[in-house]
Amino acid sequence: MAETGASPLPPTPPAHTPLARAEHFVWLTARVLEQRRFAYHFLGSDADAVETALSAYRNEDDGYGHALEPDLRGPVSQPLHTRHALRVLDSIGRCGGQRVERMCRYLTSVSTQDGALPTIHPSQRGYPAAPFLPIVDDPPSELLATGPVVGLLHRNEVWHAWLFRATDFCWQAVESLDKSHPYEIEAAVAFLDSAPDRPRAEAAADRLGRLVREHRLAALDPARPDAFPVSPGYAPGEHHFPYDYAKTPGSLARAWFTDAEMTGSLEFLLNQQQKDGGWPVRRRQWAPSAALEARSIVTIEALRTLRAYGLPVG
């Protein structure tokens, strides 16, 4: 007979491991969604609990809001929130079915004339938002918002009418990049890693890898970050490292870096865990609540990246 009041979760790992320290940080500071995600990814909990927590952010238009993406506050649906929701669903193997079909209808409703997504829809006006996410009346399509969404939908073999023009936009945007910045490159990789035309994706990724190295968009030596420029508009010290682009060994971006460069960046990532058990947010911080919520997300993704590459975390 189960003991009254027993925890529904498995025993935690030894307290000295990176995983156990991160677990303490998550239970202490995280939203329910990140607590459920942590329990799913690292403690053997069920995906249903993650879906239930995520549903609290869904709106009647089948978009997502309520600060799901911490840098956008307020209740209204936004493409960046919906991108975040798709990423969560993908990570638990639930990125499909009628829920995702309804999300595609929302994406269609907020798309620009060329069928792709703006980073911020004007409905955000009047609610708090990070100052580096400007709100304009007629926002353009952005690879930053569109690429990861299209990539996730292709990865999960979702087919919807919205995808055709959005995929064409991503190809055009990726193949015309000659100057860029790290977050846009990350978005391009998220698209290319799952784009259906694999030879075309590999060729585009090869060209982007050369661009990243030529423009020094990755800090290849974590011991000497000042040797690599920070992109205009980024926070001081907001460098990007090989693991930011190649989040798993199977990513096309993994070929951009030598084994030594990749290993060095992963060891740097492991050592970035702070005394409270969480990982830091490198981007510009503008509000305490947004920064704290983002740290739990960053912490979970750091652990997932380290585990994907086989580093021991506990």
Residue with tokens 């023009």: 165
Residue with tokens 């075309």: 200
Residue 305 in 3-state DSSP? helix
Q: What is the pLDDT of residues 195-246, one digit of tens each?
A: 999 999 999 999 999 999 999 999 999 999 889 999 999 999 999 999 999 9
In one-letter notation, the amino acid at residue 313 is V
Q: What is the pLDDT of residues 37-72, one digit of tens each?
A: 999 999 999 999 999 999 999 999 999 999 999 999
Residue 162 sits at the vertex; the CA angle it makes with 72 and 78, to the nearest 5 degrees, is: 10
Asked if 89 and 101 touch (Cβ cutoff 8 Å), the reply is: no
Asked if 184 and 143 touch (Cβ cutoff 8 Å), the reply is: yes
Torsion 220-222-226-231 (CA) sign: positive
pLDDT at position 4 is: 46
Average pLDDT, the chain: 95
* C-alpha span between 204 and 188 (Å, rounded): 9
DSSP string covering 142-206: -HHHHHHHHHHHHHTT---HHHHHHHHHHHHHHHT-SS--HHHHHHHHHHHTT-S-HHHHHHHHH
Q: pLDDT at residue 20 above 90?
A: yes
Burial class (CB in 10 A: 0-12, 13-18, 19+), 1: exposed
**Helices 143-155 and 161-175, axial angle in degrees (round to 10):** 120
Torsion 230-236-238-239 (CA) sign: positive
Residue with tokens 């911020």: 120
Asked if 103 and 87 touch (Cβ cutoff 8 Å), the reply is: no
CA-nearest of 92, 117, 75 to 33 is 92
pLDDT at position 16 is: 84
Length of the chain: 314
List residues bridging with 72 in a β-sheet.
129
* C-alpha span between 83 and 61 (Å, rounded): 15
List residues bridging with 64 in a β-sheet.
58
pLDDT at position 13 is: 53
The confidence band for 188, taking pLDDT boundaries of 50, 70 and 90, is: very high
Share of the chain above pLDDT 90, in %: 94
The confidence band for 292, taking pLDDT boundaries of 50, 70 and 90, is: very high
Question: Structure pTM?
Answer: 0.93
